[in-house]
């Protein structure tokens, strides 16, 4: 992947309103600019305890469920979230851990989490537009790009 693509991808994701598992600030450098994703952990409400730099790497699903409403995602939504997670700053070069996914909701905020063995080891704050896309994926909606193959 070239640096221009990474910079464009990071610039597009800066407005996500989410942070990766450790709330790190991602930087993608090109010859012309540095793009950083802001740390929105202060806006995460009850989820902030799991989105800060000092948060534990893995958290029991039950612990998250004790402060929020959990919704299990479909296998298609899981694959969408897994692909989306690797593109969120800090951009990952590895598939995140998990064999399913869920959305935790509380006080008007949502956190998407990848689940493995009753634990969440990959998570991010989810803005409304991501939740909307998740709903579309869950309904099996697609956007026509051209002629069918």
Q: What is the pLDDT along the chain (149 residues), one digit of tens a residue?
A: 333 333 333 334 434 444 444 433 333 333 344 344 445 556 888 899 998 888 999 999 999 999 999 999 999 999 999 999 998 887 888 888 899 999 999 999 999 999 999 999 999 999 999 999 999 999 988 776 766 66
Q: Which domain does 111 fall in, by range? A: 3-138
Answer yes or no: is 144 within a domain: no
Answer yes or no: is 147 within a domain: no
Contact between 121 and 58 under an 8 Å Cβ cutoff? The reply is yes
What global pTM score does this model have? Answer: 0.69
Answer yes or no: is 148 within a domain: no
Contact between 119 and 61 under an 8 Å Cβ cutoff? The reply is yes
Where b means 16+ CB within 10 Å and e means fewer, 73-101 reads: beeebbebbbebbeebbbbeeeebbbebb
Answer yes or no: is 149 within a domain: no
Encoded tokens for 35 = 């793009």
Answer yes or no: is 30 within a domain: yes
How many angstroms from the chain centroid is the CA of residue 143?
22
Continuous segment of H or E residues that includes residue 106: strand 100-106
Answer yes or no: is 39 within a domain: yes
Written as one string, the DSSP assignment of 115-134 is EETTEEEEEEE--HHHHHHH
State the total domains in the chain.
Answer: 1
Answer yes or no: is 48 within a domain: yes
């Amino acid at each position: 992947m070239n640096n221009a693509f990474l910079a464009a991808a990071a610039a597009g994701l800066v407005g996500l309103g989410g942070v990766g598992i450790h709330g790190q600030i991602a930087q993608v450098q090109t010859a012309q600019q540095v793009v950083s994703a802001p740390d929105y952990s202060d806006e995460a409400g009850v989820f902030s305890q799991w989105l800060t730099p000092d948060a534990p790497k893995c958290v029991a699903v039950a612990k998250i469920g004790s402060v929020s409403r959990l919704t299990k995602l479909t296998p298609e939504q899981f694959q969408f979230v897994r692909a989306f997670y690797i593109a969120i700053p800090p951009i990952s070069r590895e598939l995140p851990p998990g064999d399913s996914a869920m959305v935790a909701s509380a006080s008007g905020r949502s956190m998407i989490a990848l689940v493995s063995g009753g634990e969440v080891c990959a998570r991010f704050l989810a803005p409304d537009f991501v939740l909307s896309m998740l709903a579309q994926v869950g309904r099996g909606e697609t956007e026509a790009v051209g002629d069918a193959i």
